[in-house]
A and B are shown apart, each in its own frame.
Chain A
Amino acid sequence: MEAILQAFGAALHLNVILMMILGAVVGIVFGAIPGLTYSMGIILVLPLTFNLDPLAAITLLLGVYVGGMTGGSVSAIILGIPGTPSAAATCLDGHRLAKQGKAGKALGTAVFSATIGGLISVVILVVVAPIIAKFALKFGPAEIFALVFFGFSAIAGISSGKVIKGLISGMIGLLVMTMGMDPVMGVKRYTFGSINLLGGVDVLSFMIGMFAIPQIVEAFSTDESAIKRKLDTNVSMSFPTLKEIKGLAGTILKSALIGVGIGAIPGTGGPIAAFLGYDQAKRKACSDEPTLDCVAGPEAAHNGVTGGALIPMLTLGIPGDPATAILLGALLIHGLKPGPLLFQENSDFVYGIYATLFIINLLVFSIQSFGIRFFVKVLDFKKSYLYTTIMVLCVIGAYSSHNNMFDVFTMFAAGLIGFFMQKFGFPVAPTILALVLGPTMEDSFRRALILSQGNFATFVASPISIVFYAFTVFVLVSQVRRKKKNQKA
């Protein structure tokens, strides 16, 4: 208890609070504008964190993460265009309510439910994470390899139904991470005679290129006039009354729990949770008419994902989606390796994350409540200004990684690769996942083989490893079954 109080004390420092506000605003803006993603927002603010202390740094990124999850509902309700994939479920009834003149009420319900969903997920994170971390201390290199292998099962979920292409994307990421000096023997691998590649490819520059450049290019061919036509900037938020809250409580609680559970499974994430939340709310409503329950359900569910997704990321070092993969990469850049040892060696930091996450949820609620008119106006922002700023931010972000122009070239090259991958139907999210997990995978693979004197049977010798392989098969099979079910539907 004392540790938690101390963590709240640390989280209430001025610089940490400023980072929370900055992160939340950036997240809501990136979440609200269709075409921009909060993952991209996290990548773009990452360079700002290099000279911050780790807690302030992760606070900024968590602010974008939580803010981005919530911000998607603004455009979903007002324009009928989801700002994030997770907000697609909110769009179904939320926009219909807006058409009936209840946009303010729908927005208020969305923000309220998302906040409660997020807070419930933080409480579960605080309770569950230490238990998993304690258990994970028993893992040796072979078990860690099996765990990372399980992490790769997320590829099936984040590949938008293109599993083979998703796996190839993952292989590209793994291969990119083998460039440079071999971590055990110091042998040069795929350096093509370049001194700059001896240290390997810079992950941040590669991620910026892969994520941001294709989005900038995509924006060339999108027409924004349809959005401008639909936009009504005179919206004010109206929160649900006490009576309405009583009616929504069951939906919010159930959806938040769904969100936490779904978030903890690699490769699932916000959109699935949101639709499950919508589904259970719709069944409760038993009517085709749009209801506040059907706004509250998806919002509580996808914000519940935030705490849920942090459980495997913090305790095992396994990210469940692109956003947590970037968060994991950010922690590594700051010299903190998520996993069970983080809970032993940096427990203050872990408690700090709990505290900041809790405060961020409340802050996002306040910022959205007071600033809704501003966030609606953001939707009216000119594309030429927005993408020009993003372009310059990409360059600065890549450069600031090592203050080296080679990283800017890496970013452009990754952008080109990402552009062609997207154009030919290869999802880029698996590459990001592989970039982050690749070094741990190679390290555990080689250490396991060294300890077993080259015996490959070591990978299936422990029951823990076998359980992870079984989980991997289960996740893959369930994703394929879900895909087939969706195709039939």
Chain B
Amino acid sequence: MGKIDVICGLITGAFSVLFYIGTLSFPEMSIGINPRAYPMVIILAAFGLSILLVIQGTLKMRRQRLQTQATDGKVAVQARTLPRGKTAWYLIVLAAAMLAYALAMEDLGYIIVTPPLAALTMWFFGERKPVKIILVSILVSIVLYWIFRSAFRVPLPRSFIW
């Protein structure tokens, strides 16, 4: 976890610098308080915290090293932080599907694009019966469409069929 903290601290610090540079492009104002003042306070605080996180991470790493030496290299294996293997692939495909879904919804309409995304999600969650997948994904999409469109008057994007 120490190494992760150091990396996260460095990333936060780098983003703080980028946002600070972005703040410099805000126009100067002569009346009242400058619009860059408030974001700058936040960015400086974030930068300070990123330094603290790096220090905290470094100290943790040192402690872990000392523990490793004390136990002759036998330390508990740390839990993986990010998903790997099949789960990681599922997540990447699902993220891509979500992006495609959001891009296509306005043109094709909610009722056409939602069942395929729902079906894909069901498949990834372990459902393997095709009839169930098709029925449930269509049913969920239609029921929610009806509830939101008719009962709660949310104008979801229409398609040529509905």
- By a beta-carbon cutoff of 8 Å, the part of chain A in contact with chain B is 47-48, 50-52, 164-165, 167-168, 171-172, 174-175, 178, 182, 184-185, 187, 189-190, 217, 219-221, 382-385, 387-389, 391-393, 395-396, 399-400, 403, 405, 408-409, 412, 416, 423-426, 442, 445-446, 449-450, 454
Beta-carbon contact of B26 and A384 below 8 Å: no
Number of chain B residues whose Cβ lies closer than 8 Å to a Cβ of chain A = 63
Neighbouring A residues of B127 by C-beta, 8 Å: 382, 384-385
Is B8 an interface position by the 8 A CB rule? yes
Decide: A424 and B8 in contact? CB cutoff 8 A: yes
Which of A182, A412, A416 meets B102, CB within 8 Å?
A: A412
Q: Which residues of A contact B91 (CB under 8 A)?
A: 217, 220
Is B75 close to A, CB under 8 A? no
Closest to B91 in A: A217
Q: Which residues of A contact B83 (CB under 8 A)?
A: 217, 220-221
Does A396 contact B19, Cβ atoms closer than 8 Å? no
In the complex where A167-B49, A168-B50, A405-B102 touch, is A178 in contact with B4 (Cβ < 8 A)?
Answer: no
Contacts A400-B154, A426-B8; A187 near B19 (Cβ below 8 A): no
* Given A178-B42, A384-B127, residue A424 in contact with residue B22 (CB < 8 A): no
B residues neighboring A (CB under 8 Å): 1, 4-5, 8, 12, 19, 22-23, 26-27, 29, 31-33, 35, 37-39, 41-43, 45-46, 49-50, 52-53, 56, 81-83, 87, 90-91, 95, 98-99, 101-102, 105-106, 110, 114, 117-118, 121-122, 124-127, 136-137, 140-141, 144, 148, 152-157
A394 to nearest B CB, angstroms?
Answer: 10
Assuming the contacts A165-B53, A405-B102, A424-B8, asked whether A171 and B46 have C-beta atoms less than 8 A apart, the reply is yes
Question: Which secondary structure dominates where chain A touches chain B?
Answer: helix
Measured CB to CB, the closest approach of chain B to A30, in angstroms, equals: 17
CA distance A320 to B152 in the complex (A): 30
Nearest opposing residue in chain A for B90, CB measure: A220
A88 to B20: give the CA distance in the assembly, Å.
43
- Residue pair A388, B121 in contact (C-beta under 8 Å): yes
CB of A189, distance to nearest CB on chain B (Å): 6
Instruction: Kindly state the separation between the CA atoms of A164 and B55 in the bound complex, as whole angstroms.
Output: 11
Cα A11 to Cα B124 with chains together (Å)? 43
For residue A51, which residues in chain B have a CB less than 8 angstroms away from its CB? Answer: 152-154
Q: Which residues of B contact A425 (CB under 8 A)?
A: 1, 4-5, 8
**How distant is A173 from chain B, measured CB to nearest CB, in Å?**
10
Answer whether A409 and B102 are a contact pair too, CB < 8 Å, given A384-B122, A388-B136. yes
Q: Assess whether A388 is in contact with B46, with CB atoms less than 8 Å apart.
A: no
Q: Is the CB of B81 within 8 A of A424?
A: yes
Of B53, B95, B106, the contact of A416 (CB 8 Å cutoff): B95
Complex: how many Å from CA A423 to CA B91? 14
The 5 A-B residue pairs with the shortest CB-CB distance in the complex, in nearest-first order? A384-B125, A384-B127, A171-B46, A182-B35, A400-B154
Q: Bound complex: CA of A384 vs CA of B99, how far in Å?
A: 20
Complexed CA–CA distance, A305 and B53 (Å) = 33
Q: With a CB–CB cut-off of 8 A, which chain A residues contact B156?
A: 396, 399-400
CB contact between A412 and one of B29, B39, B87, B98 (< 8 Å): that residue? B98
> With a CB–CB cut-off of 8 A, which chain B residues contact A416?
95
- Contact between chains at B19 and A392 (CB < 8 Å): no
User: Cα distance A171–B42 when bound, in Å?
Assistant: 6
| A178 pairs with B102, CB closer than 8 A | no
Say yes or no: A396-B122 contact (C-beta < 8 A), given A50-B152, A167-B49, A220-B83.
no
Shortest beta-carbon distance from B21 to chain A in Å: 11
Instruction: Specify which of B22, B33, B126, B141 is in contact with A450 (CB 8 Å cutoff).
Output: B33
Q: Could you jot down 15 A-B contacts, CB within 8 Å? A: A47-B152, A48-B152, A51-B153, A52-B152, A171-B42, A175-B43, A221-B83, A221-B87, A384-B126, A387-B125, A392-B141, A395-B101, A400-B156, A424-B4, A426-B8
